[in-house]
Chains A and B, each alone.
Chain A
Amino acid sequence: MMRTDWRDHDWQLIHTAPQSPTLHMALDDVLTHEVGAGRRAPTLRIWEWASPAVVIGRFQSLRNEVDGEAARRHGIEVVRRVSGGGAMFIEPGNTITYSIYAPQTLVKGLSFQEAYAFLDEWVLEALAELGIKAWYQPLNDITSEGGKIAGAAQVHRGGAVLHHVTMAYDIDAAKMLEVLRIGREKLSDKGTQSAAKRVDPLRSQTGLPREAVIGRMVATFRRLHGLSDDRLRAGELAQAEALAQSKFGSHEWTTDVA
């Protein structure tokens, strides 16, 4: 099995109307499987959120990470994703989230550290075009002079790699700290100054609406790697909806690491 390059693949873009947190979790599972099985071409998916959520990593303890009472009070759903890494605080419009579903050949022979940086090189270029000097900070962060911008996570299975990233556009830090139990040590890592009310590295450093930042990212990916506009197949959506209900919306999955 030879290593492949971006241009060896026929990249597809999926960017749909806002969807629920559990459906997003399920779509990552289903689309990784479809690319691994060769039924779907490698794909970039941009997420739009229909409702607020805390998304915890596969191995995070629910009670250690989330103040359940605060989450309920703010109407925030707590979901667990398939990949490791840390918790994300999502309100529609406050972040930019994307997934890359690629054949494992694209990262064959790379160390984990190299694979994370490699799959986000296009993002660093898009950020540079927007005037942000950003760089990869191992193991899995994109950071900038204005603080941490993004966290990435990968899962490898069935011949495919899932690489998904959440970037902070304009986060209400006070609300985030009510809901997430983030230790003081971890705060600097989240780009949060002690008195900061917002964590907004993308908004403050570009001065652009979120949609314009996404537009620049998509254009950069398209120019570098090629990208055709695509949509979810009916079968993919049906599978994901079933999985969202049976697995990702279940108490058993969310409390799997209590």
Chain B
Amino acid sequence: MHGEYKMPGGKLVVIDLELHNGRLADVQLSGDFFLEPDSALDAINRALEGQPEHADEAALAASVRHALAADVMMYGLSPEAIAVAVRRALHQEPSA
């Protein structure tokens, strides 16, 4: 499943994932955003792995935020934008 979200004032945020028994699996974040250090990408993917299929945007954003070390820098990307891309991947249609 695939979801994309162009963050307003930011960059393209893309999520590819699978669903296993109602939970997110094989989550991959990608896009043309800026993220440092680059190891934060894996931390974000791991934070989303296993989240329930029906988790709302606030819960998904909180799980991403919680996984980020204090020194992580995002430019053109945010936990909220990642959450929107995840919801879009799950719905496979623009969110209302």
Contact = CB atoms under 8 A, between A and B. Distances in A.
Whether chain B is bound by chain A comes out as yes
Interface of A: 57-61, 64, 82-87, 112, 138-140, 153-157, 185-186, 257-258
Given A139-B75, A185-B6, A257-B41, A59 B36 contact: no
Interface stretch (B25-33, B46-54, B59-67, B86-94): B25-33
A138 B14 CA distance: 20
Given A61-B14, A84-B35, A85-B34, 10 more contacts: A61-B16, A61-B28, A64-B30, A86-B32, A112-B75, A139-B11, A139-B34, A140-B34, A140-B76, A257-B28
B79 interface: no
A82 B41 CA distance: 13
| Those 10 A-B pairs whose CB atoms lie nearest each other, nearest first | A84-B34, A61-B30, A86-B32, A112-B75, A257-B30, A139-B76, A57-B32, A85-B32, A59-B30, A58-B38
Contacts of A86: 32
A64 B75 CA distance: 21
26 contacts: A57-B32, A58-B35, A59-B30, A59-B31, A59-B33, A60-B30, A61-B30, A64-B14, A64-B16, A64-B30, A82-B38, A83-B34, A84-B33, A84-B35, A84-B75, A84-B76, A85-B34, A138-B9, A139-B9, A139-B75, A139-B76, A153-B34, A157-B37, A185-B6, A257-B30, A257-B41
Given A112-B75, A155-B36, A60 B28 contact: no
A83 B37 CA distance: 10
A14 B27 CA distance: 41
Contact of B32 (A84, A138, A258): A84
Contacts of B75: 84, 112, 139
Interface centre among B28, B30, B38 (most CB of A within 10 A): B30
A248 to B, nearest CB: 14
Contacts of B36: 155-157
A87 B12 CA distance: 12
A84 B12 CA distance: 11
Nearest to A62: B30
A87 to B, nearest CB: 8
A85 B94 CA distance: 24
Contacts of A139: 9-11, 34, 75-76
B31 to A, nearest CB: 6
A154 B30 contact: no
A44 to B, nearest CB: 21
A116 to B, nearest CB: 9
A59 B16 CA distance: 13
Contacts of B41: 59, 257
Given A61-B14, A112-B75, A258 B31 contact: no
Contacts of A154: 34
Contacts of B32: 57, 59-60, 84-87
A153 B75 CA distance: 11
Interface centre among A83, A85, A156 (most CB of B within 10 A): A85
Nearest to B40: A59
Interface centre among B10, B32, B38 (most CB of A within 10 A): B32
